[in-house]
Structure 1
Amino acid sequence: MDNNKFPPRQLPTFQIFTKKELKITFCFLFLILITLLIIPFSFQPTSLFFSLGFRFRFRRPPISDVNSLTKPVCDFSKGRWVWDETYPIQLYDEDCPFLDPGFRCRKNGRLDKGYRNWRWQPENCLLPRFNASDFLNRSRNGRIVFAGDSIGRNQWESFLCMLSQGVSNKSLIYEEHGKPISKHRGFLSFMFFEYNLTVQYYRLPFLVTIDRPPLGAPKIVKGTIRVDKLHWYFDRWAGADVLVFNGGHWWNSDKTTKMGLYFQEGESVNMKMDVMDAFSKSLKTWRSWVLANFNAKRDFVFFCSFAPVHYRNGTWNEGGNCDDNKEPETKQENIQLEPQSNNLVSQVLEGMNSAQLLNITYLSEIRKDGHPSKYREPGTPIDAPQDCSHWCLPGVPDTWNELLYAHLLAKNFRTMTTR
Structure 2
Amino acid sequence: MDLHQETQPQKVFHILSVSTFPNKKDVVAYALIILFISLLVTSIVFCNLLTPPLLLLPNFSFSKTLSCDYSNGKWVSDENYPTRKYTEDCPFLDPGFQCRRNGRPDLGYVKWRWQPHGCNLPRFDAKDFLERSRNRRMVFAGDSIGRNQWESLLCMLSEGVSNRSRVYEERGNPITKHKGFLSIRFQDYNLSIQYYRVPFLVVIDDPPENASQQVRRAIRVDKLHRFSSKWVGADVLVFSAGHWWTHHKTHKMGWYFQEEGRLNMTMDVMEAFGKSLQTLKSWVFKNCDPKTTRIFFRSYSPVHFRGGEWNTGGRCDLSNAPETDHLKPEVNEPLNNQIIKNMVKEMETAKRKVQFLNITYLTAMRKDGHPSRHREPGTPAKAPQDCSHWCLPGVPDTWNELLYAQLLSGAW
Could you state the TM-score of these two structures normalised by the residue count of structure 2? 0.80
Per-residue deviation, 1:198: 0.5
Larger RCO of the pair (alpha carbons < 8 Å, separation 6+): 1
Aligned length: 342
Q: Which residue matches 2:359?
A: 360
Question: Do structure 1's residue 132 and structure 2's residue 131 form an aligned pair?
Answer: no
Question: Do structure 1's residue 350 and structure 2's residue 345 form an aligned pair?
Answer: yes
Q: Which residue matches 1:378?
A: 377
Per-residue deviation, 1:335: 2.1
The 3-state SS of whatever aligns with 1:102 is helix
The structure-2 alpha-carbon separation of the partners of 1:169 and 1:207, relative to structure 1 and needing over 3 Å to count, comes to same
Is there any run of 5+ residues in structure 1 with no aligned partner, and where?
1-70, 414-419
The amino acid of 2:372's aligned partner reads S
The 3-state SS of whatever aligns with 1:178 is coil
Q: Is the 8 A contact 1:208 1:282 kept in 2?
A: yes
Distance 2:233 2:328 in 1: 45
Task: Write the deviation string for residues 161-188 of structure 1: whole angstroms up to 9, x where unpaired.
Answer: 0011111111111111111111333100
Once the two structures are superposed, the pairs formed by residues 136-155 of structure 1 within 5 Å of their partners are: 136-155=130-149
Task: Write the deviation string for residues 289-309 of structure 1: whole angstroms up to 9, x where unpaired.
Answer: 122233443111000000000
Distance 1:72 1:122 in 2: 15
2:223 aligns with one of 226, 229, 247: 229
Q: Which residue matches 2:334?
A: 339
Q: Is the 8 A contact 1:220 1:260 kept in 2?
A: no
Once the two structures are superposed, the pairs formed by residues 16-55 of structure 1 within 5 Å of their partners are: none
Q: Is the 8 A contact 1:209 1:226 kept in 2?
A: yes
Q: Which residue matches 1:191?
A: 185
Once the two structures are superposed, the pairs formed by residues 13-412 of structure 1 within 5 Å of their partners are: 73-212=67-206, 220-331=214-325, 332-333=327-328, 335-353=330-348, 354=352, 355-412=354-411
The amino acid of 1:374's aligned partner reads R
Bigger CA drift: 71-80 or 276-285?
71-80
Distance 2:99 2:213 in 1: 43
Per-residue deviation, 1:344: 1.2
Kindly report the root-mean-square deviation, in angstroms, between the aligned alpha carbons of the 2 structures. 1.8
Per-residue deviation, 1:349: 1.4
Could you state the TM-score of these two structures normalised by the residue count of structure 1? 0.79
Distance 1:312 1:257 in 2: 23
Q: Is the 8 A contact 2:329 2:361 kept in 1?
A: no
The 3-state SS of whatever aligns with 1:351 is helix
Relative to total residues, which structure has the larger helix share, 1 or 2? 2
Q: Is the 8 A contact 1:305 1:345 kept in 2?
A: yes
Is there any run of 5+ residues in structure 2 with no aligned partner, and where?
1-64
Q: Give percent identity, aligned residues only.
A: 62
Distance 1:248 1:174 in 2: 30
Distance 1:82 1:383 in 2: 35
